[in-house]
Amino acid sequence: MSQQTQSGIQLLIDARIADNNSKDISAGDVREVLTAINESFNGPIMIYHGQLKARNGAGSFVATIKDYYVNLAFFKQQNSGNPTSGTNPVQLNTTGVPGAPDGSPTITLQGGLSLKLTVASNVITSMEVLKIGGGVQVGSVTPYTYNGTALTFTYNGVITHPGTGTGVNSRFVLSTSAGEGNHTEDNTLIQASAVNISQQIEYIKNQMMTNNELNSYLKGVTSNDAWPQNVTLWRVA
């Protein structure tokens, strides 16, 4: 069976499992439909979209990373049971919330982070990351008052810049998950375009250099600093 369009799959569903009033839907009918769906969705999966600006020197020529979409399954995982860990994509400054009721509220922070907290006995015992988006910038700190307690959330991100390497040698490090493995030249497709550039382009490069290292660099002819790019990453099966 080959890939089918959405309308083709719908026709197959109507033909094989339209209803079950006569109790004649077989395991083979269900398998045929599920196989068609599975084989029709074996293309690249979008795992990331953001704006990346390479480091182009010392001083103000720093790298910046803004995340608009993250498929959480493909990057480092939040240690939900240790909300203050510095290795988490989202880090909480403190877990004490005096007077807060027990429960599992969902909060949305300005900047595009959606989080689920678990509170028990005036302590945040767990923090899950539900969604990353909105152009949240790596390194940003967001204040939030929860039940009268002032909290801060630091976004450490899933893509980082190690602070070494400038210009064409600037590198972004892509974190990984145990389930989906490394980001490689073979399994990672890159789409990139300038966010906004008002001069002739001198140099542009978007390439996986080695496992989990991305070179994304755009420079104009007359500017001293790099320019940001819209970067979308796709994972190939």
Domain ranges of the chain: 6-39, 45-72+158-235, 77-155
Which residues are paired to 232 by β-bridges? Answer: 49, 191
User: pLDDT by residue (tens digit) across 102-148?
Assistant: 999 999 998 789 999 999 999 999 999 999 999 999 999 999 999 99
CA dist 32 and 18 (Å) reads 14
Any idea how long the chain is? Answer: 237
Residue 20: the pLDDT is: 64
pLDDT band, very low/low/confident/very high, at 4 (cuts 50, 70, 90): low
Average pLDDT for residues 59-72, to the nearest whole number?
Answer: 91
Sheet holding 141-146, edge to edge: 90-92, 149-155, 141-146
User: pLDDT by residue (tens digit) across 14-45?
Assistant: 887 766 666 677 888 888 877 777 776 667 89
* Amino acid at position 99, single letter: G
Residues in Cβ contact with 207 at an 8 Å cutoff, skipping those fewer than 6 apart: 185, 190, 214, 215
| pTM of the predicted structure, to 2 decimals | 0.84
DSSP, collapsed to helix, strand or coil, labels residue 16 as helix
Q: Residue 189 — φ and ψ, nearest 5°?
A: -100, 140
Contact status, residue 146 vs residue 94, Cβ threshold 8 Å: no
Sheet holding 188-194, edge to edge: 106-109, 113-120, 123-137, 64-70, 45-53, 229-235, 188-194
Residue written as token pair 């094989």: 16
Greatest pairwise CA separation for the chain in angstroms = 74
Q: Which two tokens stand for residue 180?
A: 């989906």
